[in-house]
Amino acid sequence: MLYREAGQFRTTYAEDQQIFPIRQDRIAITALLLVAFIAVPFLASEYWLKAILIPFLIFSLAALGLNILTGYAGQLSLGTAGFMAVGAFAAYNFELRVEWMPILVSWALGGLAAALVGILFGLPSLRIKGFYLAVATLAAQFFIVWALTKFPWFSNNSSSGVITTGKTEIFGYSFDSPREKYLLVLAIVVLMALAAKNMVRSETGRAWMAVRDMDVAAEVVGIRMMHTKLLAFAVSSFYCGVAGALYAYAYIGTVEPEGFNLDLSFRILFMIIIGGVGSILGAFLGAAFIILFPILLNAYADPLAHALGIDLPPGMTSNLELMIFGALIIFFLAVEPHGLARLWQIAKEKLRLWPFPH
């Protein structure tokens, strides 16, 4: 009844091609943005901002990057954390070594550096595909972490490669409190998500999807394979790189290369599987799930076990977390391969007909 597009006539091509063609969607997204920009900073506690919302946004961005590569272009990557590391360390070095560099520019350059590395490690994708490529991206993961640890230049000669990021200052205004950092990260993530949403429905995005669905056929109809695949690697790595820079500057503050290990790559892969492979919304849903779930488990596993009369040995919750994550991944792949985003879509379709199903 509420969510019905009857009576919304589109009379120009521009209207037909807009990003949210249904009026209710536009209202909903505006409301969501208003809540995120105005209500949340006032209502959320410091802990929520610092421990949940900021990492949620940053991981959403990384998941978005991986989703462009894996979900849209069909190239499975296990090196996401490596590209994030490149972004973080490149941004750090640009800021450190170039005096006048504005922080936003150094973040963007961090993303660009990650994009370059992404192109480099994406080159094998022109020859190999599928599992072989997935294994090849592991090379990126291990090599990057090794190089950042081994060459002290990257971390300004600190011991064991730990870097501590400087202040986040834009036009003389310093972003110190979690609230300010949250707003900054939110603005960047919203802009980049919008760009991604537009990109995947443009010619580029369609080319990616054609390559994903069948690369030989795509090549036959005239899609430039090299250009398309490498562009996917570059854009994806750029997103991951910016996410890495934000991870270092806005979230952790002090990072070491080992922080960007394979485990983090898997975590981000899980985000897109649970959220929905090949969906912008899915990246956000998956990130929210993966961030919130361990927190909930830690908070409620022990009391629940006590209520049932079992004493959990120490360390058990982390094992339980591993087991439940693993089981959930399998569950989602078997039951809903398109993830939470698909559930949302089904809900929307149901809502369209509600309450009169005909």
Partner 1 sequence: MQFFLEVLIGGLLSGVMYSLVALGFVLIFKASGVFNFAQGALVFLAALTTVGLMERGAPGWIAGLIAVILLAIALMAVLKKKGAAGGGPDWRLAAILGGIAVGAILIIGKPLPFWVAVAVTLVFMVGVGVATERIVLRPLVNQPPISLFMATIGLSFFLEGLAQAMWGANVRGLDIGIPDEPIQWIVDRWDVQISSFDLAGAGIAAVLVGSLALFFNKTRIGRALRAVADDHQAALAVGIPLKQIWAIVWAAAGFVALVAGLLWGARNGVQFALTFVALKALPVLILGGFESIAGAIVGGLIIGASEKLAEVYIGPMVGGGIESWFAYVVALLFLLVRPEGLFGEKHIDRV
Residue closer to partner 1 by CB (options 79, 178) is: 79
The span from the CA of 168 to the CA of 54, in Å, is 15
Residue closer to partner 1 by CB (options 139, 209) is: 139
Task: Give min distance, CB of 100 to partner 1, in A.
Answer: 33
| Beta-bridge mates of residue 169 | 174
Residue closer to partner 1 by CB (options 187, 292) is: 292
Nearest to 91 by CA among 245, 234, 258: 245
Q: What is the CA angle 104-105-106, rounded to 5?
A: 90
Nearest to 248 by CA among 91, 48, 56, 63: 91
Residue closer to partner 1 by CB (options 121, 284) is: 121
The encoded tokens of residue 256 equal 């070491």
Residue closer to partner 1 by CB (options 41, 294) is: 294
Q: Are 19 and 30 in contact (CB under 8 A)?
A: no
Residue closer to partner 1 by CB (options 73, 245) is: 73
Q: Are 244 and 110 in contact (CB under 8 A)?
A: yes
Q: Are 278 and 339 in contact (CB under 8 A)?
A: no
Q: Are 187 and 175 in contact (CB under 8 A)?
A: no
Helix and strand numbers (H, E) in the chain are 16, 4
Which residues touch 333 (CB under 8 Å, ≥6 apart)? 273
Could you give the 3-state DSSP secondary structure of residue 174? strand
Q: Are 270 and 330 in contact (CB under 8 A)?
A: no
Q: List interacting residues with partner 1 (CB under 8 A).
A: 76, 124, 127-128, 130-132, 134-136, 138-139, 142-143, 146, 149-151, 214, 216-217, 220, 262, 266, 269-270, 273, 313, 315-316, 319-330, 333-335, 337
Residue closer to partner 1 by CB (options 138, 252) is: 138
The span from the CA of 188 to the CA of 171, in Å, is 16
Residue closer to partner 1 by CB (options 132, 173) is: 132
The encoded tokens of residue 46 equal 């410091």
Task: Give min distance, CB of 268 to partner 1, in A.
Answer: 12
